[in-house]
Amino acid sequence: MIRLALIVVLALLLAACDQNMDVQPKYSEYSRAPLFRGSVLRLPPANTVARDDLEWERAVTTKPALSAELLGRGQQRFAIFCLPCHGAGGDGDGIIVHRGMPRPTSYHVDRLVTADDQHFFDAITNGYGAMYSYAARILPQDRWAIVAYIRALQLSRRASIEDVPPDERAKLRVQP
C-alpha cells in the first residue's frame, strides 16, 4: 500500500514537470503591449553604448589587404574546413559527395564568380543552403583569408598569360 501511494505521489510530482518553454505567458516581439507605448520592441535609450559584437562588426567591415601570407593562410584554412565538401579546386567534388551528401555549388559558376567577397564571408559566417555556420569554428580574419583563396581559385580558371605581370611572365616561360 505504501509503495502504491509513493508511486502515485511521484507520478503527480513528475506530471507537474513541464519542460516546454514555448507554453508560457509572454509577448511576441511584434505584438502590441499594454506598456511601453503599445510596443514590445523598444529602442535603446539615447547615448547608450553597445557592449557586444563589436569585434564581429569590425571583422565584417574590415577586409584585409591581399598578400601572399593571406593567401597561404586561406589555402591552409580552406584545406581544413572547405576541402571535404568543395574539393581541392572548388568544383564541389569533395569527399562528402562520394558519401551520399548533396553536391555543393562549384565556385566557378557565373553566379559565384560575380558575387562580392561579402557574400562568401556571410556564407561562411551564417551558413548557406545545406552548409552550416562556421562562425564558431573559423575566426573572422581566417574567413577573409578563405575568401581570398576562393577568389584565387576562381581566377586560376579564367586567367590568361596577359594577367600575369611581365617580370613574372618571363619566369613562367623559362620553366618547363
C-alpha to C-alpha distance for 9 and 12, rounded to whole angstroms: 5
Task: Evaluate if residue 62 carries a pLDDT over 80.
Answer: no
pLDDT digits over 129-160, tens only? 889 999 889 988 899 999 999 999 999 888 78
CA 82 to chain centre: 12
Task: Evaluate if residue 85 carries a pLDDT over 90.
Answer: yes
Assigned superfamily of 55-160: Cytochrome c-like domain (1.10.760.10)
Of residues 32 and 64, more confidence is placed in: 64
Domain-by-domain residue ranges, the chain?
A: 55-160
Q: Is 120 exposed, middle or buried (CB count within 10 Å of its CB: 0-12, 13-18, 19+)?
A: buried
Task: Evaluate if residue 57 carries a pLDDT over 70.
Answer: no
Average pLDDT value for the chain: 83
Task: Evaluate if residue 176 carries a pLDDT over 60.
Answer: no
How would you label 59-83 residue by residue, b for 16+ Cβ within 10 Å and e otherwise? bbeeeeeeeeebbebbbebbeebbb
Q: Is the pTM of this model over 0.75?
A: no
pLDDT digits over 91-136, tens only? 999 999 989 899 999 999 999 999 999 999 999 999 998 899 998 8
